[in-house]
Amino acid sequence: MAVTRPSTFSPAQATGASRVLQWAAHDPLLMGLVAVALLLGTSAWLGVAPSGPLLVMGGAGTTLVYLADRVLGFAAEDVYNRPRRVRWVTRHRRYLWLETAVASALVGGTVALVRPETLVAAGGVAVAGVVHVVPLVPRAGRLKARWSAGKTGLVVFTWAAAAVVLPVVEATGTLSVDALALGAYRVAFLLPNVIVADWLDRAGDASAGLRPWAAQWTPRRVMYSSGGSVMVGLALLAVLRPPLPVVVAEGGVLLLMGAMARRACQRRGGPYAMLWLDVLVAGPALGYLLLQL
């Protein structure tokens, strides 16, 4: 979504479909569902059994990190970049606090149900996510503000590590060369989403003291970088040769992601451009579903 100014749109004017879109675009629960989809994608790619407790922990934990960023008021840049989200969060604050309580309970309830090694790895991922968005040290500010040049890389590597490391460690207790190769692919898979998001949010990020890589790029460079990442992903997909249903799902999603990234950079993606890019990140779950047929 290009930088959006506050509008005179009234919540009372929203249709049922519009309310669903607003929920999907603004509720952090969507990011939790995307995390679950990526965990399932790893299970499909490597042929490891998915863990129910890990899926619950991963989804709820991711939701909590994004709740902290969006609901607790630390994302000052949202006032400029995402005024619709700010208004939606304000109107649904009680619901979001309930969501926070439920997600916290789910994480707490699954801690004892996963391997200790998985818990250690999950703790590392959680720390990276939390320190990125929450100022844990008084007057120190958020990590993404103090080290904004590394924001893109931190987001991508945190997501990729969580998506690959956690299900593999939970299923086997260790990491393999195949898992590391999948991790490299997942970085290429995730980069277009994060690059485009940083570029679209560049004005608000600058007002909040954030200067990620893509925020300083031209639209052409953003398109070439996201397109190049898609091509690298397709090449790795051909070289690594996961099961055919996974190739079909991941390849299709990569092509759609490249097309959507291009439209977003041309400002033709509409107000929900980033929503569609986020939904595409959940595409690896399709490979898992196809393998169940």
pLDDT at 67 over 70: yes
Taking residues 218-235, what's their average pLDDT? 92
Q: What is the mean pLDDT of the chain?
A: 84
The pLDDT score that the predictor gives to residue 4 is 39
Measuring CA to CA, which residue among 206, 154, 232, 254 is closest to residue 262? 254
pLDDT at 3 over 60: no
If pLDDT is split at 50, 70 and 90, which confidence band does 193 have? very high
Instruction: For residue 20, count CB atoms less than 10 angstroms from its CB and return exposed for 0-12, middle for 13-18, buried for 19 or more.
Output: exposed
- pLDDT tens per residue, range 117-141: 999 999 988 887 777 666 555 544 5
Q: Are 188 and 233 in contact (CB under 8 A)?
A: yes
- pLDDT tens per residue, range 260-292: 888 888 776 666 788 999 999 999 999 999 999
pLDDT at 163 over 60: yes
Among 11-20, 45-54, 215-224, whose mean pLDDT is lowest? Answer: 11-20
Q: Are 7 and 18 in contact (CB under 8 A)?
A: no
DSSP 50: P
Taking residues 204-216, what's their average pLDDT? 66
- pLDDT tens per residue, range 73-113: 656 666 777 788 888 888 999 999 999 999 999 999 999 99
If pLDDT is split at 50, 70 and 90, which confidence band does 201 have? confident
The pLDDT score that the predictor gives to residue 144 is 52
Indicate the domain borders of the chain: 23-291
The pLDDT score that the predictor gives to residue 208 is 60
pTM of the predicted structure, to 2 decimals: 0.88
Taking residues 47-65, what's their average pLDDT? 95
If pLDDT is split at 50, 70 and 90, which confidence band does 7 have? very low
